Amino acid sequence: MTSSAADRPESPVRTGRPKAPRRAVAASARTRQPTEVRRRLIVEAAVPLIVERGSAAVGVRDVAAAAGVSVGTVTYHFESVQEVLSEAMVLHIERYYAALSEAAARATSGAEGLRLLIDALFTDDTDRHWRMWFDYWHAGDRDQAFARGQAERYESWHGEIRALVERGLAKGDLRCADPAGFAVRFAALADGLALQRLRQAPPLTTETARRHLYRLVEVELEAATKG
């Protein structure tokens, strides 16, 4: 005997909504990430540690905790904690000077660009940068490859300063017989003031540090236009 449609058991009825497609998980939240992504996350986590404490006070456990990974993960991706710290210092330095370059590029003249540069070099927040900068300096004593990177960074920094002076020369608002020499003196004075600012021996405020650099610009570049 055949059964009618009414006699057949009813099929289950779907009452819920279709499942939403799964969202892609951000790279930083994945359990397993590509090596370059994991390395970058570890290096990024190390930057604020060095800025706050100095590289000598940061160990592999500190880096692992800040990155939210195991110590084994750090040692798997890096040969030593020094390699992590070196890459973190380079990352911070490059970002810092890229921001300075962008600020100077917005200036309408070479003289204004130098003033913007001076203002950015010494602020309430830049002590942390200068602490990192001097760690970056000392790292070159231990690693020749790192020292070569420092030399390239200084060459680029001198070039930025020289370019602002040459921009002022082209517009006629500055005069300078030796832009390259001025760049060396400007960078050296900035480094010396930064070290004094960090050590506070003798005490030095950010405003006074700026005034010394303003004076250098006035005496060597702007005063020449008044003669």
Question: Could you report the per-residue pLDDT of 53-102, keeping only the tens digit for each?
Answer: 888 889 999 999 999 999 999 999 999 888 898 889 888 888 888 888 88
Residues 91 and 117 both lie in one domain: no
Mean pLDDT of 143-155: 81
**Confidence at residue 223, expressed as pLDDT on a 0 to 100 scale:** 54
Exposed (0-12), middle (13-18) or buried (19+): which is 121, by Cβ within 10 Å?
A: buried
Q: Are both 131 and 71 inside the same structural domain? A: no
Model confidence pLDDT, tens digit, residues 88-147: 988 888 888 888 888 888 888 999 999 999 999 999 888 888 888 888 777 777 777 778
Cα–Cα distance, 114 to 120 (Å, whole number) = 10
Q: For the chain, what is the domain count?
A: 2
Interatomic CA distance for residues 109 and 120, integer angstroms: 16
- Using CA atoms, how far apart are residues 86 and 136, in angstroms rounded to an integer? 8
Identify whether 1 is part of a domain: no
In a domain, 142, yes or no: yes
DSSP state at residue 55: G
Q: Which of 95, 161, 160 is nearest to 129 (CA)?
A: 95
Domain ranges, residue 157: 107-226
120/193 same-domain check: yes
Indicate yes or no: pTM above 0.85: no
Of 43, 62, 97, the last residue of a domain is 97
